[in-house]
Amino acid sequence: MQFQYEKEKVLIVDFGSQVTKLIARRIRELGVFSEIITPKELIKIKDYHSIKGFILSGGPSTVTNSRFQSVPKAIFEKKIPVLGICYGLQLIAKLFGGKIKSSKKRREFGRAFLFKKKSSLLTKKYLITKRSVWMSHQDAVVKLPKNFKSIASTQNSKLTIIEHSKKKIYGVQFHPEVTHTDNGKQIFKNFLFLICKIKKKWNISSQKKKLIKKIKNRVKKDKVICALSGGVDSSVAALLINKAIKKNLICVMVDTGLMRKNEFNYSYKIFKKKYRLNVKLINASSLFLSKLKNISNPEKKRKIIGNLFIKIFEKEAKNHKNLKFLAQGTLYPDVIESRSSTGSKTSKIKSHHNVGGLPKRMNLKLIEPLKDFFKDEVRILGKSLGLVNQINYKHPFPGPGLGIRIVGNITKERIKILQEADNIFISELVKSGLYSKIWQAYAALLPIKTVGVMGDSRTYENICLLRAVTSEDGMTADYFSFPKNFIDNISNKIINNVKGINRVVYDITSKPPSTIELE
Ligand code: XMP
């Protein structure tokens, strides 16, 4: 656990729910530090004095089985308030002698309505008579444990909110952390400020000084190397480390030739001139292009790009003495996913390119200053470090870049065509104010040509596909609904200005079943 120095925190015990991350986000948004731990990590805790509250998450397990994921009952005796959500509520009920049943009659998925039965600190200013909540459960508590009260019900489940006010133990069957639950934030507010009595103190900007100090103390006089892509995460990580160790940070920018139009030069200038970072630029575009010649298989492309990148980076690293660390912009969601409570790994859909294989090969220690933060928190940090908006609020961009947005063979000409079309799309999004409403947008080239008519002549040219999605973390996504005149205008502009494209299509699939990228 990273934030041992936080004076007050809430620990979220993760039982494997898809939305546990959202609990941590909601609490941090309210100005309180929260951390997600596994049930195993909970058992190892020795010092409880900075823990002001526990939240037990939802999860796929069921207490109706003889073996179920649990917490030691001793945590309820520490005078620390506990809130159980979904599986967390069922676990509390089970541990205190209640009865839980799995039944089709009681299961609820999606919207349900909550009715008040008794007043409670947990539902103050939240439940006057009725509220719309989001449910996802098959099991339900059917008999209250001793000394617990029922606070609210839905039509299908009578014991939807329960409490043991003396011991400050609470449980809710619905998910207050998801936006489909009406005003779920109030439940967290009441738990944190009325029940746990925590003070609102934590904010991301106040972490900056602590992070810089930590990096200084760890690196001392050694050197750190960082692959700087110009994306939000590596940029914020580099600025932060630069504040701590200045010239001992070596940033390497590898120009693969697969970036958006003008983007590489823009980022290089900003980091070199505005922030005065120690940046080494390596132009490898011809090398990438030659290795990718006639390769159309997406996985092969990803492997070639990833491996080339590693080779170039390794070669550069050999030029520096006292190089002991590799900096990476890993974020909190990656950390949580890599140590899931159930130990299950989601099946591999694509091999993501990042510099993951590097530290072992190069015998370097990792520095990941952002590994405790969510993307939106990283942006707050970026802002407080003076990172320009153009980089700080940039959409995510995949490591293999345009290489996986040119479906089929990659050639210099196709890169140029795509860069032009993509630049029109993104510039119009920025101009119209839609850019910030969209999580990720891009243009891609499909590997087929179609017939068109321009003037009085027949054309036989490329298809440009546009994709724009809304999302919270890239795990799921919805396509964005553009006003008709906007999408008409984009289509016109691309056809009129980009030679080589005679058809524009818009991707209207969500994720799942599609992914955000095409390859
Ligand atoms: P998919 O296509 O899997 O993408 O729905 C989810 C998010 O991940 C990004 N992405 C990558 N990011 N290296 C990265 O750093 C990669 O190899 C990579 N592939 C996809 C994608 O742009 C989206 O934001």
pLDDT score at 207:
86
pLDDT tens digits, one per residue of 338-384:
765 554 444 567 777 676 667 777 789 999 999 989 898 999 999 99
Closest atom, ligand 1, to C-alpha of 514: 5
Domain that holds residue 82: 9-195
Instruction: Indicate whether 398 belongs to any domain.
Output: no
Closest atom, ligand 1, to C-alpha of 517: 2
pLDDT score at 374:
87
What CATH number corresponds to the domain at position 99?
3.40.50.880
Contact residues for 429 (Cβ-Cβ < 8 A; gap 6+): 435, 438, 441, 468
Q: Are residues 191 and 211 in the same domain?
A: no
Ligand 1 lined by 516 (C-beta under 6 Å):
yes
Which of 6, 8, 163, 175 is catalytic? The answer is 175
Ligand 1 lined by 350 (C-beta under 6 Å):
yes
Q: Are residues 261 and 360 in the same domain?
A: yes
Rounded to the nearest whole angstrom, what is the distance from the C-alpha of residue 285 to the centroid of ligand 1? 21
Closest atom, ligand 1, to C-alpha of 511: 5
Rounded to the nearest whole angstrom, what is the distance from the C-alpha of residue 517 to the centroid of ligand 1? 7
Of 347, 352, 395, 422, the residue with max ligand 1 atoms within 8 A of its CB, to mutate for a pocket test, comes to 352
pLDDT score at 341:
53
Within 160-318, residue ranges assigned H as helices are 185-189, 207-219, 232-245, 263-269, 285-291, 298-317
Q: Are residues 491 and 342 in the same domain?
A: no
Q: Are residues 290 and 383 in the same domain?
A: yes
Rounded to the nearest whole angstrom, what is the distance from the C-alpha of residue 54 to the centroid of ligand 1? 33
Closest atom, ligand 1, to C-alpha of 404: 19
Instruction: Indicate whether 2 belongs to any domain.
Output: no
Ligand 1 lined by 354 (C-beta under 6 Å):
yes
Contact residues for 53 (Cβ-Cβ < 8 A; gap 6+): 10, 11, 80, 81, 82, 83, 191, 192, 195, 196, 198
Residue 137 falls in the annotated catalytic set = no
Which of 177, 263, 420, 519 is catalytic? The answer is 177
Q: Are residues 36 and 146 in the same domain?
A: yes
Q: Report the alpha-carbon angle 180-183-188, nearest 5.
A: 110
Rounded to the nearest whole angstrom, what is the distance from the C-alpha of residue 471 to the centroid of ligand 1? 13
**Token representation of residue 399:** 């490591």
Ligand 1 lined by 440 (C-beta under 6 Å):
yes
Instruction: Indicate whether 59 belongs to any domain.
Output: yes
Rounded to the nearest whole angstrom, what is the distance from the C-alpha of residue 40 to the centroid of ligand 1? 31
DSSP string, 89-157: HHHHHHHTT-EEEE-TTT-EEEEEEEEE-S--GGGTTT-SSEEEEEEEESEEEEEPPTT-EEEEE-SS-
Residue 175 falls in the annotated catalytic set = yes
Ligand 1 lined by 400 (C-beta under 6 Å):
yes
Instruction: Indicate whether 451 belongs to any domain.
Output: yes
Q: Are residues 437 and 478 in the same domain?
A: yes
Backbone angles phi, psi at 386, to 5 degrees: 80, 20
DSSP helix, strand, coil percent of the chain (3-state; round to 5):
35, 25, 40
Rounded to the nearest whole angstrom, what is the distance from the C-alpha of residue 445 to the centroid of ligand 1? 17
Backbone angles phi, psi at 468, to 5 degrees: -145, 125
Instruction: Indicate whether 36 belongs to any domain.
Output: yes
Ligand 1 lined by 515 (C-beta under 6 Å):
yes
pLDDT score at 15:
96
pTM to 2 decimal places:
0.84
Residue 441: strand pairing partners: 468
Residue 177: strand pairing partners: none
Instruction: Indicate whether 445 belongs to any domain.
Output: yes
pLDDT score at 206:
79
CA nearest ligand 1 atom 14, residue: 398
pLDDT tens digits, one per residue of 143-172:
999 999 999 999 988 999 999 999 999 999
Q: Are residues 304 and 428 in the same domain?
A: no
Closest atom, ligand 1, to C-alpha of 353: 17
Q: Are residues 439 and 388 in the same domain?
A: no
Task: Among 195, 223, 238, give the residue marking a domain's end.
Answer: 195
Q: Which residue has the tokens 């998910």?
A: 175
Mean pLDDT of the chain: 93
Residue 177 falls in the annotated catalytic set = yes
pLDDT in tens, the chain (519 residues): 444 567 899 999 999 988 898 999 999 999 999 999 999 999 999 999 999 999 999 999 999 998 999 999 999 999 999 999 999 999 999 999 999 999 788 899 999 999 999 999 999 999 988 999 999 999 999 999 999 999 999 998 899 999 999 999 999 999 999 988 999 999 999 999 999 999 988 888 878 998 999 999 999 999 999 999 999 999 999 999 999 999 999 999 999 999 999 999 999 999 999 999 999 999 999 999 999 999 999 999 999 999 999 999 999 999 999 999 999 999 988 877 776 555 444 456 777 767 666 777 778 999 999 998 989 899 999 999 999 999 999 999 999 999 999 999 999 999 999 999 999 999 999 999 999 999 999 999 999 999 999 989 999 999 999 999 999 778 788 999 999 999 999 999 999 999 999 999 999 999 889 999 999
Domain count, the chain: 3
Task: Among 195, 218, 246, give the residue marking a domain's end.
Answer: 195
Q: Are residues 38 and 109 in the same domain?
A: yes
What CATH number corresponds to the domain at position 445?
3.30.300.10
Q: Are residues 356 and 419 in the same domain?
A: no
Instruction: Indicate whether 294 belongs to any domain.
Output: yes
Ligand 1 lined by 511 (C-beta under 6 Å):
yes
Q: Report the alpha-carbon angle 445-446-451, nearest 5.
A: 105
pLDDT score at 388:
98
Q: Are residues 373 and 501 in the same domain?
A: no
Which of 6, 35, 86, 461 is catalytic? The answer is 86
How far apart, in whole angstroms, are the C-alpha atoms of residue 287 and residue 245?
Answer: 33
Closest atom, ligand 1, to C-alpha of 397: 22
Q: Are residues 177 and 43 in the same domain?
A: yes
